[in-house]
Structure 1
């Protein structure tokens, strides 16, 4: 029996949704302590998480990021917030799907089953976590974590895409146009300064890891991440 962790502070809705999913063959754990959601996740080890956005203490985006440092299990948001920006934020913080309230229980069930099939069932790839490696730097693109010399930092989805694009071409320059193309399907509607913002954020994350010199700006051409495998200059080179 597959398990679901339901993080929803509306007790009535949580009870009804849990009962519906239980009737359809799932084991459902409803969170009662919204201060220790990650601890409960680690203890329960669910196959999937259903997460509200508006929660006491910290919001669902925060808990989604925390869970992503431990697991790549499917996370579905259920929220009354129906703006496109809220959905984008959910995906950027590591969610797999977003369901707006009010919803039909049948839709939730269908999306839950779909995500479980993709993660563990007939649609799943070989269950081995993807890693992108460059010397002592390792990116886990599925859970948005970057490691360097035994330190780690969390990334947003867009930051992870940016870092992965650069690491895939380690030592070679990647143009701004290519980065925009990989980060957004239609880059024509993206302000050119937006990429600068993400580059600045990634530099800040690299600085946290003590690796700020790894990312270089090549004037008039783009950006590159140094090839750490072939470098003889050690950390940060």
Structure 2
């Protein structure tokens, strides 16, 4: 069954270019010219991927992403109007999966979108003989895709959850950023070291808000591993 791509941009020319490019790749597309229409299209059609322009009038792409992430894990690919680090990091920390800066190659957007679709279609890594993973005050349930700090649930995006599960499955191991990317994204996914860092910062912030300031440790020049999860601060 063909995947459906929602293309959200207030510029009809950009939508037309992407509709044509995705059509050549054999993918179905639907369109939205603004944020409100995008949310309605997601509700109506449940697309497999959203291509989302950041700079739109009335409701920008970051706000659309924020609202989608309140109740959906649909992958989001940002189109940014400028090479701006704030837009990039904020977009990823809100739960975006990738981004490209305008002007862009439609073929590149299609190729990177296909990589995201391959990742989301793949089964999550199996956790053998374990229903709930526990480490200190942290628990993670791979079956229900939920995480808790003590008795408080901590809501994570699919990407954040998968990073945490990767580390938690082998809490004494140090994972490089490449290890993390390969572990759950698969080869060919356009994910950068900086993107992994943004997701890790987001996981840390969410657990810190719940009282867990020692969930993930940074090993300088190497990567990340699980912290003690005892509820005390660590130096990152």
Distance 1:200 1:74 in 2: 21
Distance 1:115 1:151 in 2: 27
- In the other structure, the counterpart of 1:71 is 72
Distance 2:14 2:21 in 1: 11
Number of residue pairs the alignment of both structures matches:
196
Task: Quickly say closer, same or farther: Cα 1:41–1:168, change in 2 above 3 A.
Answer: same
Give TM-score, length-normalised by structure 2. Answer: 0.57
Q: Quote how far apart the aligned CAs of 1:58 are.
A: 2.6
Q: Quote how far apart the aligned CAs of 1:136 are.
A: 10
Alignment of 1:174-193 (within 5 A): none
- Paired residues of 1:38 and 1:67 also in contact (CA < 8 A): yes
- Secondary structure in structure 1 of the residue aligned to 2:5: strand
- Secondary structure in structure 2 of the residue aligned to 1:109: helix
Give TM-score, length-normalised by structure 1. Answer: 0.57
- In the other structure, the counterpart of 2:95 is 94
- In the other structure, the counterpart of 1:118 is 119
- Paired residues of 2:35 and 2:64 also in contact (CA < 8 A): no
Distance 1:225 1:154 in 2: 17
- Secondary structure in structure 1 of the residue aligned to 2:103: coil
Distance 1:200 1:73 in 2: 22
Alignment of 1:1-237 (within 5 A): 1-35=2-36, 37-120=38-121, 124=122, 126-127=123-124, 203-204=208-209, 206=210, 225=229
Q: Quote how far apart the aligned CAs of 1:85 are.
A: 3.1
- Secondary structure in structure 1 of the residue aligned to 2:99: strand
- In the other structure, the counterpart of 1:234 is none
Gaps of 5+ in 2: 178-192, 195-202, 215-226, 232-236
Distance 1:137 1:15 in 2: 46
Gaps of 5+ in 1: 171-177, 187-197, 207-211, 217-222, 228-237
